[in-house]
Amino acid sequence: MQKKAKAAVSIGVFALAMTLIGNVIGVAFSTGREIMTYFADFGRIGLVGIVISFSLMFIFAPMSYATSRNMDKYTFDWIVTPLGWKPLRMFNLYFTLIGLFSSVSAMIAGTGSILEALFGVPYLVGALFMVAACIFTVCFSLKRFSDTLSIMVPIMVVLAIVICVICAVWPNVEGNSWDSVSSSNILISNWLISALVYFGINVGPVIQLVCPMSKDIKDRKTIRTAAVLSAVILMVVACCVAIAIVRNYSISSEAVLPTITMAYVKSPIAGILYGVVAIIAIYSTCAAFLHIFKASFNNIKPLKDNPLRLNVTLTVLAVVALAASFIGFANFVDKVWAVLGYFGYIGIAGVTFNYFYYKKHPQNRLTAVNNAESAPMPAGADEDSSAE
């Protein structure tokens, strides 16, 4: 009697859209620092930048899905490297880890800044708290707890919209206008460059998320619909944040954490609530990033199958990230990430090349035979296609 094939896992539109949104909204977005730096500082035209940046970002989600399926490769380093050229693939792999490391440092810095601003806790104490919590979670494999806390991300989205709409309609300080905004960041000298740099920063995490999930995404229509839904929701949230920042520019432009500062001035209770939710969401995301490092390091021979050595390595990494966090949260978002945004175009060029090349020369046997990029991939299909 023939054994029945196990049904493939299928990810629906809403679940995929929420995952994509959660992947983009981090500490810098939720605190308003990113939106102020890359969009609100340019005034009304910054709203156009938001539309351009998020539209481009989510065009690359379906492209990454199609490229993964056609290449029959499901990791970021393969998808962003033309023809899988090994030296460039290794560069992209390590560059990705550097990007993740900078995100961990920024989240540690963000936690220290939030606790210092809201509760007067010394920066170092707040940063150490986040490092200790994440190391404990990762070393003791409490990932389910971390995943449960990720529900804070959609709560933070709702809070951001509510608080920013209130601050936009009833600003804390009257007299602020679109003409009062200004940008002094030489790395993003005008609104269009700024929008493109922001796209370069954030498209990497989107691609990195879609690649391993592409086996389980139901079809091409699912990823396209989810990408459009994600882009629209994020555009609305980003525009609300940008308008609120401009309407309260005399307060927000001087703040390291614009949305939390605005919320606190409007109502200390609202500010503290927003700050606490942000810290919990940061913890969940930071722990998830350290899990990615753990999975990556587990493929290295000296660390493989040696939990103690692996945990020590992760602890050392977290301590280095803590030291790097003293660069300052604002400097990470405004300068370090801007530089990473320019480098991100190496990966963008790679994805674009692979998309068109492997569309004509698919390596996946099912795609090549059936030309069915939109068909669900049965369980074990990738093993079959790579066995030849």
- Each residue's pLDDT, cut to its tens digit, for the chain (388 residues) gives 444 444 445 778 888 888 888 778 877 888 899 999 999 999 999 999 999 999 999 999 999 999 999 999 988 889 999 988 888 888 887 887 788 788 889 989 999 999 999 999 999 999 999 888 888 877 775 555 545 555 666 777 788 888 888 988 888 877 677 888 888 899 998 999 999 999 999 998 898 889 888 888 878 999 999 999 999 999 999 999 999 999 999 899 889 999 999 989 999 998 998 888 888 878 877 877 777 677 667 666 777 777 788 788 888 888 888 999 999 999 999 999 999 999 999 999 999 999 999 999 998 765 544 444 444 444 444 443 333 3
Determine the pLDDT at residue 370: 46
272: exposed, middle or buried (Cβ count in 10 Å: 0-12, 13-18, 19+)? middle
Place of tokens 């961990």: 104
User: Nearest to residue 99, comparing CAs of 294, 289, 278?
Assistant: 289
The pTM score is 0.83
Determine the 3-state secondary structure of 86 from DSSP.
helix
CB atoms within 10 A of CB 125: 12
DSSP 279: H
CB atoms within 10 A of CB 307: 12
What the chain holds in terms of domains, given with CATH numbers, is 13-365 (1.20.1740)
Determine the pLDDT at residue 388: 33
DSSP 11: B
Determine the pLDDT at residue 127: 92
Determine the pLDDT at residue 152: 67
Give the integer Cα–Cα distance in Å for 145 and 148.
5
Determine the pLDDT at residue 9: 56
Give the integer Cα–Cα distance in Å for 318 and 129.
12
Give the integer Cα–Cα distance in Å for 223 and 264.
38
What dihedral angle (degrees, nearest 10) is formed by the CA atoms of 103, 114, 34, 64? 40
Determine the pLDDT at residue 153: 64
Place of tokens 């994600």: 230
Instruction: Give φ, ψ of 334 to 5 degrees.
Output: -80, -30
